[in-house]
Amino acid sequence: MGVRKEILSRAYIVFYLFALSGLVIFGKVIKIDTIDRAYWVERGDSLTIKKQEVLAHRGNIYADDGSLLATSIPFFDVRIDLNSSAMAADSFFANVKGLSEALHRDIWPTKSVAKIEADLRKGYKNKIRHFLIKRNATYEEVERIRTYPLLRLGGYKGGLVLERKSSRLKPYKNLASRTIGRKDDHKDPVGLELSYDKKLSGVNGQRYVQKIGGSTYVPIDGLKNIEAEQGADLKTTLNVNLQDISEHALSQVLKEHEAEWGTAIVMEVATGKVKALANLGKGKSGYYEILNYGVGRLYEPGSTFKLATMMALFEDKNLDLDDLVNIGPGYLKVGSGVVRDSEKHPFTETTLLEAFAVSSNVAMAKLANHYFKDGDGPDRFFKYMRQFKLKEKTGVEIPGEPMPDLYSKKEREQFDSKKGTWSSIMSIPYMSHGYELRLTPMQLLAFYNAVANDGYYVAPRLGDNIQKSGKVIEDLSKNSKAVKIASDATIEKAQALLREVVLNGTGRNLISKDYSVAGKTGTTRINYSNKEATRKKYTASFVGYFPADNPKYSCIVVVNDPKKHAYYGSKIAAPVFKEIVDYCYATNPDLMQILNNKPMLAAADLRIPVFKVGYTEDLQNIFGYLGLKTRKSNFSQWSLIMQDTADFTLEPRIIKEEVIPNVVGMGLKDAVYILENLGMEVKISGSGRVVDQSLDPGLPINSKKIFLTLG
* Per-residue pLDDT tens digits for 292-335: 999 999 999 999 999 999 999 999 998 999 999 999 888 899 98
Q: Which amino acid is at 546?
A: F
C-beta of residue 556 within 8 angstroms of C-beta of residue 546? no
Greater pLDDT, 45 or 560? 560
Flag whether pLDDT at 624 surpasses 90.
Answer: no
Q: Cβ contacts of residue 552 below 8 Å, gap of 6+?
A: 268, 269, 270, 546, 584, 588, 590, 591
In the chain, pLDDT over 70 holds for what percent of residues? 85
Whole-number mean pLDDT of the chain?
84
Mean pLDDT of the 72-95 span: 86
C-beta of residue 384 within 8 angstroms of C-beta of residue 447? no
Cα 489 from chain centroid (whole Å): 38
pTM exceeding the 0.85 threshold for the entire prediction: no
Q: Please tell me the predicted confidence (pLDDT) of residue 592.
A: 63
Flag whether pLDDT at 476 surpasses 70.
Answer: yes
Q: Please tell me the predicted confidence (pLDDT) of residue 18.
A: 75
C-beta of residue 559 within 8 angstroms of C-beta of residue 597? no
Flag whether pLDDT at 703 surpasses 90.
Answer: no
Instruction: Give the lowest-confidence range in 107-116, 561-570, 651-660.
Output: 651-660
DSSP state, 60?
P
Flag whether pLDDT at 575 surpasses 50.
Answer: yes
CATH class of 244-587: alpha beta
Mean pLDDT of the 22-31 span: 78
- Please, which pLDDT band fits residue 474 given cuts at 50, 70 and 90? very high
Cα 490 from chain centroid (whole Å): 36
C-beta of residue 351 within 8 angstroms of C-beta of residue 360? no
Q: Please tell me the predicted confidence (pLDDT) of residue 365.
A: 95
Q: Please tell me the predicted confidence (pLDDT) of residue 554.
A: 97
* Pairwise CA distance, residues 709 & 64, whole Å: 42
- Please, which pLDDT band fits residue 272 given cuts at 50, 70 and 90? very high
Q: Please tell me the predicted confidence (pLDDT) of residue 609.
A: 45
Flag whether pLDDT at 452 surpasses 90.
Answer: yes
- Please, which pLDDT band fits residue 26 given cuts at 50, 70 and 90? confident
Flag whether pLDDT at 498 surpasses 80.
Answer: yes
Helix and strand totals (H; E) in the chain: 23, 29
* Pairwise CA distance, residues 116 & 114, whole Å: 6
Task: Give the tens place of pLDDT for each residue, 412-425.
Answer: 999 998 999 999 99
Residue in 347, 310, 344 with CA at minimum distance from that of residue 326:
347
Q: Please tell me the predicted confidence (pLDDT) of residue 608.
A: 44
Task: Give the tens place of pLDDT for each residue, 129-163.
Answer: 888 888 888 888 888 999 999 888 887 788 888 87
**191 φ/ψ angles, rounded to the nearest 5 degrees:** 65, -150
C-beta of residue 482 within 8 angstroms of C-beta of residue 457? yes
DSSP H helical segments within 170-292, as ranges?
177-180, 191-195, 197-201, 240-257
DSSP state, 154?
-
Flag whether pLDDT at 635 surpasses 80.
Answer: no
C-beta of residue 510 within 8 angstroms of C-beta of residue 577? yes
Q: Which amino acid is at 641?
A: I
Q: Cβ contacts of residue 380 below 8 Å, gap of 6+?
A: 312, 316, 372
CATH number of 52-235: 3.90.1310.10
Q: Cβ contacts of residue 557 below 8 Å, gap of 6+?
A: 250, 262, 263, 264, 541, 542, 543, 573, 574, 576, 577, 580
Mean pLDDT of the 609-622 span: 66
Instruction: Give the lowest-confidence range in 74-83, 159-168, 217-226, 598-607.
Output: 598-607
Query: Is residue 300 classed exposed, middle or buried when 0-12, 13-18 and 19+ CB atoms within 10 A define those classes?
Result: buried
C-alpha dist (Å) from residue 678 to 183, 246, 315, 427: 53, 41, 73, 75
Q: Please tell me the predicted confidence (pLDDT) of residue 2.
A: 66
- Please, which pLDDT band fits residue 481 given cuts at 50, 70 and 90? low
Q: Please tell me the predicted confidence (pLDDT) of residue 53.
A: 65
Mean pLDDT of the 359-376 span: 94
Give 655-711's CATH code, choosing from 3.40.50.720, 3.40.640.10, 3.30.10.20, 3.50.50.60: 3.30.10.20
* Pairwise CA distance, residues 336 & 334, whole Å: 6
Q: What is the DSSP string of 424-449?
A: TTTHHHHHHTT-S-BB-HHHHHHHHH
In the chain, pLDDT over 90 holds for what percent of residues? 45
Scored b (16 or more CB within 10 A) or e, 19-52 reads: eeeeeeeeeeeeeeeeeeeeeeeeeeeeeeeeeb
C-alpha dist (Å) from residue 82 to 58, 93, 121, 221: 33, 12, 9, 18
DSSP state, 550?
S
